[in-house]
Amino acid sequence: MTLQGWMKATVKSVENGDTLVVAAGAKPGAIPAEKRITLSSVLAPKLGRRDGSTRDEPFAWQAREFLRKLCVGKPCVFRIDYQLEVAGNREFGSVFVNDKENVAVGLIAAGLAKVRTPGGQQSPFYEDLAKAQADAESRGLGVWSKDKDALAAAVRDVQSADEFDAAGLVARVGKGKPVEAIVEAVNSGSTLRVTLLPDLQSATVMVAGVQCPSMGRRPPPSAPAAPAAADEEGVAPAAPAAPGSAAALVAAGTAQGQADGQPEPFAREAKYFTELRTLNKEVKVILEGVSQFGVLVGSVQFPPPPAPAKPAADGAAAPAAETDLGAALVKAGLARIAEWGLNMMTTGSFRLRELERAAKQGKVGMWHNYVPQTGNSAKLSDKFPGTVAEVVSGDCIIVKDKASGVERRVNLSSIRAPRIGSRDRQPEPWAVEAKEFLRQRLIGKEVSISMEYNRKVTPLLGDGGAPGKPGDERTMAFGTVTIAEGSGADQKVNNVAELLLVRGLAQVVRHRGDEERSAHYEDLMNAETQGKAGKKGQWSNKEPPKPHINDVSLPSTSSRAKQHLPFLQRAGKVQAVCEYVLSGHRLKLHIPKEGVTIAFNPSGVRCPQRGQPASAGRPAMQEEPYWDEALAFTRDIALQRDCEVEVQSVDRAGNFQGVVRFGRTNLGVALLEAGLAKLHPSFDPYSTPGGRELEAAQNKARQAKLKVWEKDEPEAAAPEAEEEAAGAANGSAGARETMEVVVSDMTDANDMYVQVADEPRVTWVAEQLAGLSLADTPAPATPLRLGDKCLAQSSVDKQWYRATVEKAYAADPTAPKYDVLFIDFGNREHVAAGQVRPMPPALAAVPGQAHHACLAFVKAPSVDDEHGVEAAQYLWQLVGGNRRLTTYVERRERLAASGKSWGTQAPTKLHLTLTEPGSEDFKQSVNGQLLAAGLAQLVEPKGPKSPEAEGVLEALRSCQEEARRKHLGLYTYGDPDSDEDDGGFPALGGRGGGRGGGRR
């Protein structure tokens, strides 16, 4: 077949079994001209009317479908064979697709159409058509079938479009579920007429979440054709075709956009955009709902265009084509989002908002003249980790920045929790539950913050209840807060806002079009839907719980507070929650068991006070140093944390006193040890439970001159008094502490590390380490520093243990090496960078389980001195091999801290008397056996001694005398500390049997 006189085009749509529409090529952004062609000499069965007034002829739908699947979207060549004035100047022609396939011949050969009887003008391929018809008729195909049942089955049985029940379809199929459909017509860019499959039901579909410009009223049939002109939005039409060209022939047909109904700007472009992607194509409609006028609303997924035959010039993969019609329209700037439709959507609403924002910023399509409105919000991109220091309400928290240590107020993006009450306003329903949920889930935990936008807000009420003024506005920072919960393979990162919404403790904010919103807005909408479906929280049918608060923490309630003292004293240790930190030593505690809120301070403890001006007849109070540090210290430990409180008394102002512990931290002791508090001058440590511990903590801080004690100048003590104090420190005060231990490591005979036997934390740490997969975990990205905690691999058994860096060798930053101390055993090693891993926070929170210790009242030579190695070996024989020993703590020596090393951070060095379990014979103690072997010397403490210490010393003296008598070890050549001959071998040069003189 020669192509002379034939035109090239693309088949746009198929109207019925013998009529199709072709479109000429056009420049990008322009709407091409179209031509309606009826196949020459072909008579196809007629389709019934959409209103149901007439039915299909047999095989009418099959003929239309055959032509649609064969032609739509494909390039073709065509020519006009003849034109009939009696048929309204309808043009008849021949169409070929796939370069050589005659569409009419294929249709006739399938038995889906007949050849018109000859007479007048006819197809130039009439003989081919007649031959194809004869073959189909002989085979009884399609319309030539003699089977009445087959002919009856070839007629569609559908309802009229007016009888279609859109709501029934959504209820039957389900919201968010897909249905297949064929697009029959495009009324506007966002409104389609479809045939639903497999029922072949005609329906109108509105694209969910978007709205395209209106096409206006349809023009009357007699409206004259107006040539396309350059529109005011800047989209140029196709250039005029040259006379006699193929484009000119196509342009002679009905041009797109002829209307006197004045379509809105970009309405034609949006309609053509949709036609190009969906018309006469099979699409997937995701059912979202029904409009107020009963029209079906859904997201339309169209088939992706064929991949280009040639790869990109740079070899890069082409981006995935957009197949969602709503998203594609918004992205091209041919539609705007519709809030009513977005609220129906199950997924994808946030993406449409972001695409519209991007189109506006890029000034694409209908947004080519867009000017952003001046608003009161600003987008942020700040991300940081931190620890939750306070929960203000169900949608607001205060986070301590991990890097800077600064506390930042963060509001949860795009949600609103019920408002917390104030002095003159009751809390909204579920406000207390929302805040308590966040407190239990977040307080003291590490979270990740992604700041998203700031917004200026004006309070609804200003001072005195008057409406807020513009000058009263404040800036609120909004962000997404996530928390990692669980461990190992079960670890999950949760969005805190979603957790609230799922439990019905908050609602999603319905933002206006241009407002900034959460980057996870769609997930928030889904979470809210889940909460509503589960009837949780404020969506439940139950009455919201009413808070019953018996607050006796105010000064005016002191009389009522005293009435609770007997109950709290009888209760003993009770669980409480610290609601507020009023000062360094004064807390507001809520005790759920008793249903009461009290003011509380640790017995006898007083922190520096904040300065206050004179008021209500009270004199001004001068600010004391370190009041702010004391307040911050207590906030870090106590604010909104669970605690255990033991009430002992109440003062005249209604402030309860006693002991409060947060975990294992005694708040009073912690404040005194940190030098941020002093004991009240009238406090009697001997008559108050735990008073001796408080006094010891204060003495410790006072000796170190910490904080409030930095200018303390005690009077000079006489030497006798110093010795007496030293003796008291060596064990004269109180009963000795006894425990079961295992020696885990030993440096020499003077230095060892012990573990408390049956300590559950030792087992827990070992289980946690065994559950870690550290082989796949990368080494720290930056070199570790002195004092940093880590996990280190032991060279002995290749297992991983907790450690701290004692020295870092970073001459080569790419391959640093470290001296580490294994904090649960006390041994040290030199490791390379590949043998260390970051320590998980849960493990880092547990203190080291190896306690620094030595033998009480005993001093042995170091390994560099004579008999030092022998003493160390003998001691290991006595204590090694995981032998369980009973120990008496004779003294706790405070070590001077320096740097961040774990060893120097240990508060004390234990001076121990080690014996076999159940033994009270101190001559057979480890201390005594080392002395009896002559491998150590007795060190007599100065000052008075407790009866228990005196009993131990008496036994140790006899052990040392036995070694001296037998000239063992250090006493081989006499007494090493004596210049006189004690019966041993004479010293060289006439000196007594000193160790140094006798061996030179």
Write out pLDDT tens, residues 187-203: 999 999 999 988 888 89
Same domain, yes or no: 858 and 921: yes
Residues 6+ apart with CB under 8 A from 164: 201, 202, 203
Closest CA to 514 of 356, 343, 350, 364: 356
pLDDT value, residue 320: 64
Residues 6+ apart with CB under 8 A from 556: none
Same domain, yes or no: 575 and 479: no
pLDDT value, residue 995: 34
pLDDT value, residue 458: 74
- Whether residue 977 lies inside any domain: the answer is no
- Whether residue 228 lies inside any domain: the answer is no
Q: Stretch 630-648: mean pLDDT, rounded?
A: 94
Q: How far is CA 300 from CA 297, 541, 983, in A?
A: 9, 36, 109
Same domain, yes or no: 454 and 586: no
- Whether residue 235 lies inside any domain: the answer is no
908 token code pair = 């004390």
What is the DSSP secondary structure assignment for residue 245, as one 8-state letter? Answer: S
Is 51:161 a contact under the CB 8 Å cutoff? yes
Same domain, yes or no: 661 and 680: yes
The CB density around residue 216, as the number of other CB atoms within 10 Å, is 14
pLDDT value, residue 449: 94
What is the CATH number for 787? 2.30.30.140
What is the CATH number for 411? 2.40.50.90
Is the confidence at residue 15, as pLDDT, over 50?
yes
Same domain, yes or no: 56 and 178: no
Is 190:352 a contact under the CB 8 Å cutoff? no
Of 464 and 691, the structure prediction assigns the larger pLDDT to: 691
Please give the helix or strand (H or E) that residue 595 lies within, else none: none
pLDDT value, residue 370: 86
Q: Stretch 17-39: mean pLDDT, rounded?
A: 87
How many helices and strands in the chain, by DSSP H and E? 26, 45
- Whether residue 237 lies inside any domain: the answer is no
49-58, 467-476, 793-802, 927-936, range with the lowest pLDDT? 467-476
How many Å apart are CA 640 and CA 588, to the nearest integer? 10
- Whether residue 916 lies inside any domain: the answer is yes
- What percent of the chain lies above the pLDDT cut of 70? 84
Structural domain total, the chain: 6
The tens digit of pLDDT for each residue in 350-373 reads 888 889 888 988 999 999 988 876
pLDDT value, residue 713: 60
Beta strands 507-508 and 587-591 are unpaired
Q: Which residue has the tokens 């809120």?
A: 597
Is the confidence at residue 548, as pLDDT, over 90?
no
pLDDT value, residue 223: 38
- The reported pTM is 0.53
**Helix/strand/coil (H, E, C) string of 295-344?**
CEEEEEECCCCCCCCCCCCCCCCCCCCCCEHHHHHHHCCCCEECHHHHCC
DSSP string over 768-824:
HHHT---TTSPPPSS---TT-EEEEE-TTT--EEEEEEEEEE-SSTTS-EEEEEETT
**Where does the pLDDT of residue 310 fall: very low under 50, low under 70, confident under 90, or very high at 90 and above?**
low
329-338, 438-447, 453-462, range with the lowest pLDDT? 453-462
Domain residue limits at 839: 760-844
Same domain, yes or no: 451 and 493: yes
pLDDT value, residue 316: 55
Same domain, yes or no: 80 and 174: no
- Whether residue 1000 lies inside any domain: the answer is no
Closest CA to 658 of 795, 564, 753, 750: 564
Closest CA to 44 of 26, 27, 66, 28: 66
How many Å apart are CA 883 and CA 877, to the nearest integer? 10
The tens digit of pLDDT for each residue in 230-268 reads 333 333 333 344 443 333 433 343 334 444 568 899 999
How many Å apart are CA 874 and CA 926, to the nearest integer? 10
Same domain, yes or no: 386 and 447: yes
- Whether residue 333 lies inside any domain: the answer is yes
Same domain, yes or no: 184 and 279: yes
Please identify, among 809, 844, 879, the residue that sits at the C-terminal boundary of a domain. Answer: 844
Please give the helix or strand (H or E) that residue 896 lies within, else none: none
Same domain, yes or no: 502 and 563: no
- Whether residue 231 lies inside any domain: the answer is no
Q: Which residue has the tokens 């923490």?
A: 553
Same domain, yes or no: 951 and 802: no
Q: Which residue has the tokens 């004045």?
A: 262
pLDDT value, residue 676: 94
Q: Is 184 exposed, middle or buried (0-12, 13-18, 19+ CB in 10 A)?
A: middle
How many Å apart are CA 140 and CA 152, to the nearest integer? 15
The CB density around residue 105, as the number of other CB atoms within 10 Å, is 20
Same domain, yes or no: 143 and 107: yes
